[in-house]
Amino acid sequence: MTDPRRRIPAVDRLLASEAFSPLLEAAPRVLVVRATQWVQQELRSAIARGTERAAAVDDPAWYARRVAERLEALGRSSLRPAINATGVVLHTNLGRAPLGDAARAAVARVTASYSNLEYDVEAGRRGSRYDHCAGLLAELTGAEAALVVNNNAAAVVLALNTLADGLDAVISRGELVEIGGSFRVPEIMARSGARMVEVGATNRTHADDYAAALSNRTGVVLAVHRSNFRVTGFTADVPLAELVELAHARGVAVVNDLGSGLLVDPAALGLPATEPTAADALRSGADVVTMSGDKLLGGPQAGIVLGRADPVERMRRNPLCRALRVDKMTLAALEATLALYRDPERARRELPALRMLASTADELGDRAEAFVRSLREVGVAATAADGASAVGGGAFPDAELPTTLVLIATDDRSPEDVLAGLRAAEPPVVARIVDDRVALDLRTVFAGEEDALRAAVVEACGEGR
């Protein structure tokens, strides 16, 4: 028997075939050629692996279908919108906080032309990008000075490198945390040039433990907020204000990695009072406070540094700051996001992440019931059931936000199968499995996405019905 790979038609023959003429009408010839070569190569490899039957190998229509799929895939952006039906509001894998209208408009406005990013318009000379959000941040949090870098991990590295390069950085063993899989305090500390000095125990650290570790080699005391877990039982921590008093008495600065970046009273979002706001941390006397822009603040990815004028200015002058610098799109989005906080009620209304967090159980129940009805109308067996959403982004780990889930009955298909079908939709839908059933949580679904979500469910359940 001859090698089936030798029966693969030449590109020219395929392009001249009737099956390819619609493709050549829709896309430039070079692209069709490249896609055809790709399909041929995939087929050769599949035959070599023994995973493809070679029956249709000389049928141009077979190639045309695959080339059409390839062209469609090439035309799709790698980074594209997705529907978050998980109910996890700050879903790190799905881009954390969606931007509000004001932020998106600001990015469009500032990037479609030149801007005063590093230009002092009044003086007619070079300015600094770091001036743009600094005043607003100081106004909103009571900080003496502020600095914005690329993300919170960068802010922590910059703080440690500035204040403790070659010196001791003292930290409680209860705060050597890992966040989001790749931010680990001991590793970040090592890269910053600071020497980590651990004090206390995993569950209990006392003021005396810190006091004993402070010396003339100490550059900084680092307090890391336990964002994504809780320690319960036989525990002890030193409150930030007490830690500050102790460190300052020895002339040592305190850096507080706050993480989530809460700017409003959590009660206004229906959340427990377990998470400190940036203003709380500053009032406790921390010299430098760092946080993310895209967690509870509801803005773009950014690392926000707040604190006393002297350490913040030293961080700004550190050459490392240049490597961690923030982009103009981020500054535009952040400034517009922060401006909403001048009226906290407006921030709660207009920032999607805050609005989703603040959605009430009643609203979500009504939406879920209506969605279930609309699914039944198109033949999908769905029911509503009580459930819980999550804050995500490593914030409020034990807060359970009451919601109503839309459960899909998938008949003879496995829920994993239906989840895969939902991910194959355009835009892809990410959902979860609850009690062996596909569950949609509308808390994180924008009202304008409901039609696309319904179409994706119908499509994904299609074969099973």
Q: Which residues bind ligand PLP (CB under 6 A)?
A: 151-153, 179-180, 183, 224-225, 227, 257, 259-260, 292, 303, 394
- Which residue, 87 or 300, is less far from ligand PLP as judged by CB? 300
Distance of CA 452 to the CA centre of its chain: 22
SS3 label, residue 31: helix
- Which residue, 91 or 225, is less far from ligand PLP as judged by CB? 225
Q: Measured from the CB of residue 144, what is the shortest distance to ligand PLP in angstroms?
A: 22
Q: Measured from the CB of residue 230, what is the shortest distance to ligand PLP in angstroms?
A: 13
Q: Which residue is nearest to ligand PLP (CB)?
A: 259
Q: Measured from the CB of residue 302, what is the shortest distance to ligand PLP in angstroms?
A: 7
Q: Measured from the CB of residue 277, what is the shortest distance to ligand PLP in angstroms?
A: 14
- Which residue, 259 or 298, is less far from ligand PLP as judged by CB? 259
- Which residue, 183 or 210, is less far from ligand PLP as judged by CB? 183
* Cβ-contact 154, 303 below 8 angstroms: yes
- Which residue, 311 or 394, is less far from ligand PLP as judged by CB? 394
Can you list the alpha helix ranges (DSSP code H) found in 378-463? Answer: 415-423, 450-461
CA angle 444, 445, 448 (to 5 degrees): 145
User: What is the C-alpha separation between 189 and 341, in angstroms, rounded?
Assistant: 33
Q: Which of 332, 334, 333, 438 is nearest to 385 (CA)?
A: 438
Can you list the alpha helix ranges (DSSP code H) found in 193-260? Answer: 207-213, 240-249
- Which residue, 153 or 170, is less far from ligand PLP as judged by CB? 153
Q: Measured from the CB of residue 208, what is the shortest distance to ligand PLP in angstroms?
A: 25
SS3 label, residue 309: helix
- Which residue, 145 or 153, is less far from ligand PLP as judged by CB? 153
Which strand (E) or helix (H) includes residue 157? Answer: helix 152-164
Tokens of 431: 């959902």
Q: Measured from the CB of residue 227, what is the shortest distance to ligand PLP in angstroms?
A: 3
User: What is the C-alpha separation between 2 and 4, in angstroms, rounded?
Assistant: 6
CA atoms within 13 A on the CB side of 313: 4
DSSP annotation of 326 reads: P
Q: Measured from the CB of residue 293, what is the shortest distance to ligand PLP in angstroms?
A: 7
Q: Measured from the CB of residue 125, what is the shortest distance to ligand PLP in angstroms?
A: 33
Q: Measured from the CB of residue 164, what is the shortest distance to ligand PLP in angstroms?
A: 17
- Which residue, 257 or 449, is less far from ligand PLP as judged by CB? 257
- Between the CA atoms of 14, 19, 25 and 30, what dihedral angle is there, to the nearest 10 degrees? -20
- Which residue, 130 or 183, is less far from ligand PLP as judged by CB? 183
Q: Which of 99, 130, 137, 164 is nearest to 290 (CA)?
A: 137
- Which residue, 137 or 442, is less far from ligand PLP as judged by CB? 137
Polymer length in residues for the chain: 465
User: What is the C-alpha separation between 346 and 358, in angstroms, rounded?
Assistant: 13
Cα-based distances in Å from 87 to 7, 12, 239, 274, 351: 51, 51, 33, 21, 16
Q: Measured from the CB of residue 233, what is the shortest distance to ligand PLP in angstroms?
A: 22
User: What is the C-alpha separation between 208 and 200, in angstroms, rounded?
Assistant: 9
